[in-house]
Amino acid sequence: MDVSSDRIHTQSAEEEEEEEGEEEEEEEEEEASIRHLSPTGIVQTDRQQLRWLACVGYLCCWQSVCLLETVCRWISVTLQKLLNSSRKNTTRERSSALQ
């Protein structure tokens, strides 16, 4: 009984390690996939740029720190482009995985 429970425990620990490794690889691939230049000139991944745009958008458009309509428009257009490109990339990845 003890031997079989040890095997089960070892197998589940190995499976958890494999899953964690796969998740880390996916995150690294996602970050390396498409990169953008932000207005600050710093190269950022899609996720980082979305966070940056969300913060600027929140401050400028919803907290009335600045009421520049063009900034709000630029943010919404850029967010829409990012969302569309990430959807296209996801669709491409799924279709290539199926083939």
* pLDDT of 35: 47
Residues 44 and 26 in one domain: no
Residues 83 and 94 in one domain: yes
Q: Can you give the residue range of the structural domain that contains 69?
A: 35-99
Residues 11 and 50 in one domain: no
Residues 49 and 21 in one domain: no
Q: What is the pLDDT of residues 69-91, one digit of tens each?
A: 666 777 778 878 887 877 776 66
Dist CA 75 CA 52 (whole Å)? 10
Residues 61 and 18 in one domain: no
Residues 73 and 88 in one domain: yes
Per the structure, the count of domains in the chain is 2
Give the alpha-carbon dihedral of 86, 87, 88, 89, to 10 degrees. 50
Task: Note the helical H segments in the chain.
Answer: 2-33, 46-57, 69-98
Q: DSSP states of 58-73 as a string?
A: IIIIIS-S---HHHHH
Q: What is the pTM of this model?
A: 0.31
34 three-state secondary structure: coil
